[in-house]
Amino acid sequence: MKKVNWQTIYREPRTTISNKTHYKYPYLLKGLKIIRRNQVWAMDITYIPMEKGFMYLTAIIDLHSRYVIHWSLSNTMSAEWCTEVLKQAIELHGKPEIFNTDQGSQFTSEVFIKELKSNEIKISMDGKGRALDNIFIERLWRSVKYENVYLNVYENGLSLWKGLNDYFSFYNNERLHQSLEYKTPKDVYQLAA
């Protein structure tokens, strides 16, 4: 099968749907040295399958420490949901200097941009078709799915929330990261104060 490149073809939900009428902000992270916590946060949305149906997961991470600042589950991908997650993250951890997202309609929406501007946060957006611009959160999604979601068949939203809550606690507080010199995200986040 590998030699002839046979593969299963299936439709995956698209989580980045651009609204052509919304303004797209430039990518501010190219060449930027990220040297402290709350310098740059990144946010993205991914699709999480369950035994019956699916949910959407969004998370905000601190790029310096890879610390998951805040996360949430929803059955819809609304701009209001993303804005509420952002507000809660700011309440818990203060605000970043720069906030990076893709060009999805939730992140280019008026309500989301207004929240960033009212907190005087610089807005950065990945280039179109540039998955590597948001590589840190894409790497988080890979870890979440391969270390948790694909190993557990969650029956419903409640069991998924409990499983992810345990996983993010493990990820932040116990999981050692090679790129962090084998420290945990929590250790690096707290030391970078």
- Per-residue pLDDT of 39-86, as tens digits, reads 999 999 999 999 999 999 999 999 999 999 999 999 999 999 999 999
What's the whole-model pTM score?
0.85
Cα angle 44, 47, 49; round to 5: 155
Across residues 159-186, what is the average pLDDT?
96
Mean residue pLDDT across the chain = 89
Closest by CA position to 64, among listed 98, 102, 88: 98
Q: How large is the average pLDDT for residues 163-174? A: 98
Cβ burial, residue 27 (10 Å; 0-12/13-18/19+):
middle
